Amino acid sequence: MSATTAPAWTKPQQQANWLVRLFDWKPFLAFACLLPAAGLLLVFLTYPLGLGIWLAFTDTTIGRSGYWVGIENFQYLLEDPLWWNAVFYSVFYTGIATIGKFALGLWLALLLNNHLPFKSLLRAIILLPWIVPTVLSAIAFWWIYDPQFSIISFLLVDKLGILDNYIDFLGSAWPARFSLIAANIWRGIPFVAISLLAGLQTISPSLYEAALLDGSTGWQRFRYITFPMLMPILAIVMTFSIIFTFTDFQLVYAITRGGPVNSTHLLATLAFQRGIPGGQLGEGAAIAVSMIPFLVFATLFSYFGLARRKWQQGEGND
Amino acid sequence: MATVEIRNVRKAFGPVQVLHGVNVDIADGEFVVLVGPSGCGKSTLLRMLAGLENITSGEIAIGPRVVNNVPPKDRDIAMVFQNYALYPHMTVFDNMAFSMKLAKAPKEVMEQEVGRAAKILGLEALLQRYPRQLSGGQRQRVAMGRAIVRNPQVFLFDEPLSNLDAKLRVQMRAEIKELHQRLRVTTVYVTHDQIEAMTMADKIVVMNGGHVEQVGPPLELYDRPANLFVAGFIGSPAMNLVKGGPGEGGFQAEGGAVLPLPQSARGEASIYGIRPEHIQLREDGIPATVVLVEPTGSETQVVARIGETPLTCAFRERVTARPGETIRIMPEMGLVHLFESGSGRRLAA
Ligand SMILES: Nc1ncnc2c1ncn2[C@@H]1O[C@H](COP(=O)(O)OP(=O)(O)O)[C@@H](O)[C@H]1O
Ligand SMILES: [Mg+2]
């Protein structure tokens, strides 16, 4: 190389003013960027949540601000058979509906992932139950479950002659419970099916081809490729689905209002029933707050279920 | 190990004809490379061999058995995909053992077989890693390991090196070749890279637009390309192809150059082919104007014009000429290729 050296030249240091320097200071920048989001969360999330929790520890009724009563509301709930009933039904409702939604949703997603004629039309149709407003579909179900005008009874009894008597779907506890679960499954399938379909489409077809050459049967391809590769998205979708189902309100309130004889109350409908029509705001709030442990549990489930599996982690060669 | 026969195979995707009657015979233990430009139907043919695409018409036989209606898993072939298609949620060991796991082989057998393949490929230290944690070359090796473990009758490779960098590609090329020499399994290897084809193949099948242009050992394709397409495709830098016709004192190029023509040359020759490495610098050569000089170290590539006819030359000696200067060059008479312009056929010379 040549021995001559270039004349020394350094970029002149720009003397920045204090505002520029402030914005270059990371802690301030983080604070400034977080502020709007934090503000929104505070006003629309934390405040109502805080108020709800506060109410749960008072004996507030409508029209009378209450006094701090500690955990009295909760002690009372533990002795309340209605609350226990609602806990039982919430868990039962969530469990059975989730199993149903995922079994049918996964099946539909697998079906739609094949080459079918009118594929996009079919996908649009699948979304229908989800697009219809809940209350509207609740009214439809109300009709379907009507003791006299039910289409199901009509078909089974008058057309096919399989049964002798009309079914009383909503007249007694267990049929009513299962009828609501069926309605919830119907409503929940599109979300599950479409999400899982999106997940299925991220799986490279060449993996199936490789597995085909490796000698797999259709079931083995599902068991060893589709299912494990779908696991991460399955876990997310399931967590959301569980949370939505557990906190469901509209469907039950519109179809049965918790009846007959309080047998189909979910925690959400019971909380509303106690708090608003019943006027016992404190007690209603306590019921709502009692859902929190269950939801935390569901979220933890997602946290550990979702914890990025080892095979998804890139980088780090060791 | 087995022979493979492809007899008059055609493929159409709906109304689109992709393969127009392909015939290839592959001997037992042979390493055959299908080469051709992108979109010419190489992968399609390979996938038909694997059973991943059905055969529109014609026959494919592996060993004595016609496999047209045999499902992929019963064809006893193993394939290495261009994107490797490793199962991302399985470790290297599980990837390689997957076929045995499906067949419910005992654990000792799996460990033994995977161990054997891992040893051949130098993967022993990586067996517990996930594909994400491997480099491109290592993934490539795992994909080959997965194929080796199967002990197949035929190996199929679909552009296995195209995702690797140039240096690794050369190394893996040698490794695959060596592997073939060790295992002696019939191999069909697809690539668009003619250098890969030349260096690896026992036999090359040059394809273009769904037709087979020529089949033969690498040097035969180099020495006696059957037509213009093969002449232009095989060899790097590509053969000079000059249009014109026989005339006064040699071959009269359209650009005005007069090139020496062998005695035996027939009248209808209308395309003159000469490889860059077969043009020499000679005191008594034809004067040519230098357009471009590209030294690569081992040789110097020069583009020079005789009249208006540009010729690419590759000289072993170092050339100091600059663009615009004149050099004297001469094609080696015995290594000239002559073609018919209409059909592109080689004229027996
Ligand atoms: N599944 C398919 N449907 C329709 N056309 C296809 C399909 N697969 C390949 N082709 C067409 O067939 C031709 C050959 O493709 P391919 O065998 O992949 O070429 P290559 O030689 O690059 O491997 C291309 O023109 C491609 O567009
Ligand atoms: Mg291809």
CA gap B82, B158 in Å, rounded: 5
Asked if the C-beta of B104 comes within 8 angstroms of chain A's C-beta atoms, the answer is no
B131–chain A Cβ distance below 8 A for any pair? yes
Give B-chain residues touching A226 at CB under 8 angstroms: none
For residue A228, the chain B residue with the least C-alpha distance is B89
Q: How far is CA A64 from the centre of its chain?
A: 35
**What mean pLDDT is predicted for residues B5-9?**
95
Residue A58, Cβ density class (10 Å: 0-12 exposed, 13-18 middle, ≥19 buried): buried
Structurally, what CATH architecture does the domain formed by A82-312 represent? Orthogonal Bundle (1.10)
Instruction: Give pLDDT tens digits for B66-118.
Output: 999 999 989 999 999 999 999 999 999 999 999 999 999 999 999 999 999 99
Which bound ligand lies closest to the C-alpha atom of B36? 1
Q: How confident is the model at residue A317 (pLDDT cuts 50, 70, 90)?
A: very low
Closest Cα in chain A to B135 = A317
Question: What would the pLDDT profile of A120-138 be if each residue is shown by its tens digit?
Answer: 888 888 888 888 888 888 8
Predicted TM-score of the model (pTM): 0.82
> Could you report the per-residue pLDDT of A46-94, keeping only the tens digit for each?
888 898 899 989 888 888 888 888 888 899 889 999 999 999 999 999 9
| Tally of CA atoms within 13 A in the half-sphere of B156 that contains its CB | 24
Percentage of chain A beyond pLDDT 90 is: 34
Question: Do A312 and B102 make contact, defined as CB atoms within 8 angstroms?
Answer: no
Query: Considering Cα of A178, then A183, then A184, then A185, what sign does the dihedral take?
Result: positive
Q: Whose CA is nearest to atom 19 of ligand 1?
A: B39
Contact A213 B83 (CB under 8 A): no
CB B253 within 8 A of CB B244: yes
Candidate from A209, A216, A316 with C-beta closest to B52: A209
SS3 state of residue B298: coil
Q: How many beta-carbon pairs under 8 angstroms link A with B?
A: 72
Substitution site in B17, B18, B157 for ligand 1 pocket (most atoms within 8 Å of beta carbon): B18
Q: For this complex, say whether ipTM is above 0.90.
A: no
What mean pLDDT do residues B160-185 have? 90
- What distance in angstroms lies between residue A221's CA and the mean position of ligand 1's atoms? 25
Residues around ion ligand 2, judged by CB within 5 A, are: B 43
Contact yes or no for B346/B226 (Cβ under 8 A): yes
CA atoms within 13 A on the CB side of B1: 12
Mutational pocket test of ligand 1: of B9, B13, B46, the residue with most ligand atoms within 8 Å of the beta carbon: B13
